[in-house]
Homo-oligomer: A and B are copies of this chain.
């Protein structure tokens, strides 16, 4: 018998999540039953999309329930196995984050071959955020030679990979992020023009200064004013990959959309939303490309790490305050 602490949803956030929306509870884990494994989580991820699951409404994933442990991506280690194919010491991935450990049927975890990468990379560059960048840029935005690419939340887990993939493919990249530290990071990863949106009064003007001829592709992570600026700066036939709108996830009454929606017509724009889980067919291609880029030293990643399950809510809240550069993670093991 071992003890695992977990984070439960205590109350649904209204606006920005606060510490009191969460509670830490302890559960006892017996020895794993037949066909089960016991996992000790080493790392868990916090992602903006989880905010949507805290609201009680129909969506593409079921809402979290009050009093129950939250869920999300995690990387862990098998500590006891009562199932064939998995043994103590094996690394695994699961959607059972937000807890220090768990027992589960073996089918609920996937054995992880790290190919020499640190295991937590599979929650970032080699996981869902990396795939999101790849799918959004190559499939949804259908990146083509010569495209000028604009990325919002460009220093974030997804945005920073979007910027680098576009740079590897030879594009001019404009990234927007909040504050000088993030903008310095953007320069470090090769972004051509870093816009500190917090320092700009007129985001459209800043964007058109960076891209006087306009943009061909917009990778949308933010929404609101960023979308409006992107519509204003879009060239004829520009494509928007709509990945997230973090600026409004905490609004109890969502803000009105951009005033310049009619530009979609005159400029023949295509705006397309996507959920990475619908595009897992591209995973082998991504991992192949990624391993080449990593081997060639062409791609970097950064982590912002909180330590201990008790700090998972803090890590999550910091996402919405923009207090991360690169992937926000919680180290558990």
Question: Which positions in A face B, CB cutoff 8 Å?
Answer: 52, 59-60, 223, 227, 236, 242-245, 248-249, 253-275, 278
The answer on a CB contact under 8 Å between B253 and A259 is yes
The answer on a CB contact under 8 Å between B236 and A265 is no
The answer on a CB contact under 8 Å between B278 and A273 is no
Q: Which residues of B contact A236 (CB under 8 A)?
A: 60
Copies of chain A in the complex: 2
Q: Which residues of B contact A255 (CB under 8 A)?
A: 259
Q: Which residues of B contact A260 (CB under 8 A)?
A: 254, 257
Not counting A257-B257, A257-B258, a sample of 11 additional A-B residue pairs whose C-beta atoms are within 8 angstroms of each other reads: A60-B236, A223-B261, A245-B261, A245-B262, A257-B259, A258-B261, A264-B271, A267-B273, A270-B271, A270-B272, A270-B273
The answer on a CB contact under 8 Å between B262 and A254 is yes
Q: Known: A52-B266, A60-B267, A271-B271. Contact between A256 and B254, CB under 8 A?
A: no
Residue on B nearest A255 in the bound complex, by CB? B259
Pick from B52, B248, B256, B266: contact of A275, CB under 8 Å: B266
The answer on a CB contact under 8 Å between B253 and A256 is no
Q: Which residues of B contact A243 (CB under 8 A)?
A: 265
When A and B form their complex, which 5 residue pairs have the shortest distance between CB atoms, in order from nearest?
Answer: A257-B257, A256-B256, A264-B273, A265-B273, A271-B271
Residue on B nearest A264 in the bound complex, by CB? B273
Shortest Cβ gap from A162 to chain B (Å): 15
Residue on B nearest A254 in the bound complex, by CB? B259
Residue on B nearest A245 in the bound complex, by CB? B262
Give the docked Cα–Cα distance between A274 and B265 (Å): 5
Give the docked Cα–Cα distance between A267 and B249 (Å): 16
Q: Which residues of B contact A266 (CB under 8 A)?
A: 52, 59-60, 273, 275
Give the docked Cα–Cα distance between A100 and B144 (Å): 47
